[in-house]
A and B are shown apart, each in its own frame.
Chain A
Amino acid sequence: MPRVLFFGRLRDMAGCSEREIACENDLDLPTFRRLASLGDHDLEEALAARSVRVALNAVLVPVAATCSVSPGDEVAFMPPFSGG
């Protein structure tokens, strides 16, 4: 099962920092976002925002990439960084 990680304000919206997604097939990113949101449309929309960066197995994926999520993958949704 793929795992989703939420950071920053997305973690607050989701109410958790990570969850496992019940799925045995490969998924495209929009489908994965919908499943990861568990029916929360505000969260699904927030995950799709242009400012949100996505990492697949701890590697940043280009925004426009047609990213495929497989069982066992870890997908992180990251709002704008604010280090320093």
Chain B
Amino acid sequence: MRVVVSTQAFAPDQELASFARGGEAGAVASFVGYCRAEGGAVERLELEHYPGFTEAAIARLAGDSLRRHGLIDLLVIHRVGAIPAGEAIVLVAASSAHRLEALTAVSEVMDYLKTEAPIWKKEIGADRARWVEPSAADRQAAARWAEN
């Protein structure tokens, strides 16, 4: 398992190309989240984190998911700092013997990142700036995993 929280831009295709090598995985599922331009209203996002605490919290939720779904490997890359519209914010990739575990884990980790990763996201536009908070839908999405 690898968890990276960094201000550096990353190339999702290159990260995926080097993930899950070795031949044991029958399935690799992944998700990439990008900074949306919102029709030009958003110039960039500014993501703040709590160094050390944020990495530990993400490693904990990723480790739980890895064990719960019996994954072979899990990769979480979360960019912080200033992220221009169009660039990648987050990559989650999971490998497993069969597809269901990898697909489920990616969806679960993303839902938990939205509500349980100590990261604060501000949308910056030409004439506005606002802190993003998880929506009711985000909270419901995260809560459904706890019910199962």
Contact = CB atoms under 8 A, between A and B. Distances in A.
Interface centre among B33, B53, B122, B132 (most CB of A within 10 A): B53
Given A5-B50, A58-B50, A76-B53, A83 B119 contact: yes
A84 B33 contact: yes
A11 interface: yes
A4 interface: no
A82 B131 contact: yes
B48 A83 contact: no
A30 interface: no
Contacts of A84: 33, 89-90, 110, 113-114, 117, 119
B89 A78 contact: no
A82 B132 contact: yes
27 contacts: A7-B48, A7-B120, A8-B48, A8-B131, A9-B120, A9-B131, A58-B50, A58-B56, A76-B50, A78-B120, A79-B131, A80-B134, A81-B115, A81-B116, A81-B117, A81-B118, A81-B119, A82-B114, A82-B133, A83-B58, A83-B90, A83-B114, A83-B118, A83-B121, A84-B33, A84-B110, A84-B117
B50 A7 contact: yes
A46 interface: no
Contacts, number: 66
Interface of A: 5, 7-9, 11-12, 55, 58, 76, 78-84
Q: Name the interface size band of chain B.
A: 20 to 34
Contacts of B44: none
Contacts of B113: 83-84
B118 A78 contact: yes
B50 A82 contact: no
Nearest to B31: A84
Nearest to A58: B53
A30 to B, nearest CB: 23
Nearest to B56: A58
Nearest to B115: A81
Interface string B61-99: 000000000000000001000000000011000000000
